[in-house]
A = this chain, B = another copy of it.
Amino acid sequence: MKSELAVSRLYALAQASRLAVFRLLVQKGPEGMAAGEIAERLKVAPSALSFHLKELTSAGLLKSRQEGRFVIYAPDFKAMRGLIDYLTENCCAGSACGPDECN
């Protein structure tokens, strides 16, 4: 992954509401959740949520599909896995840093 893309994905997650959205959707799984339900559960105004969903989606972390009048959002697990792999390689000098080998 290019560091530019990593920055945009990190940035998308580096905000309380957006991280909460992403965590909620990961819990929910691939079936996803409608924007309105996310807003209700997290107590975020619909327009504010839309703003955050747009940011997460354009960073590639969420996928959306329309179902009737609902727009369903679901995590892109591969994208997240890619980010984690990037951090692992660039944080811990690759495989040299297992869970107990740091410092």
Contact = CB atoms under 8 A, between A and B. Distances in A.
A81 B102 contact: yes
Nearest to A17: B7
A80 B27 CA distance: 23
A11 interface: yes
A10 to B, nearest CB: 4
Given A7-B19, A19-B10, A80 B93 contact: no
Contacts of A22: 90-91
Interface of A: 3-4, 6-7, 10-11, 13-16, 19-20, 22-23, 26-27, 29-30, 75-78, 80-81, 83-85, 87-88, 90-93, 97, 99, 102-103
